[in-house]
A and B are shown apart, each in its own frame.
Chain A
Amino acid sequence: EVELVESGGGLVQPGESLRLSCAVSGFHFGSFWMTWVRQAPGKGLEWVANIKQDGGQTYYVDSVKGRFTISRDNANNLLYLQMHSLRVEDTAIYYCARQTTVTLWGQGTLVTVSS
């Protein structure tokens, strides 16, 4: 069964850092682009970042450039989102998803940035 399971969310203060993980099973992780999408409470969906199969290409939404880093560990089927200098407006559920076309989604992990 195909599964994407995010973890690492929590409550942090503005300016702090957090690393999200996404554990993948049920498909060949190393063959797919991977994506992070977020959803602020009561709001719509926002694409955050993408990473190529070998990690050699990455793309980010402007609002997180220079603060967030997407990476992957193909040997262990793990996707990461390292988040620095977190802001209140980064508060959201963060979903990992398969492919640029966002075919499959995890259940999400909640990140709350508040003082």
Chain B
Amino acid sequence: AQKITQTQPGMFVQEKEAVTLDCTYDTSDPSYGLFWYKQPSSGEMIFLIYQGSYDQQNATEGRYSLNFQKARKSANLVISASQLGDSAMYFCASRGGSGGGADGLTFGKGTHLIIQP
């Protein structure tokens, strides 16, 4: 079974600073995918970025990048030049495992990020 651990329940960061949100995963599958989602206070879940286990390079999407360290089983999300609108819950997820169904995602508990002006 897959397991996702996010050790930071909450973080306060100054606007314009870079932010790193931690995520470790536990899987025995040789092939897997890792995802990050953002959930603002309005409630919707927004897909941010994906990293495949065989991808040679770290994924990037605009201000989001994923610091993927396969040997450590970590997939940390980095947000550069944080903005007030980045304040939200952030969830790390992996594909597969009993928590997500045949093709679904298993989610961590999330990190509540607050950007301060």
Mutual binders A and B: no
> Interface on A for B, CB 8 Å cutoff?
none
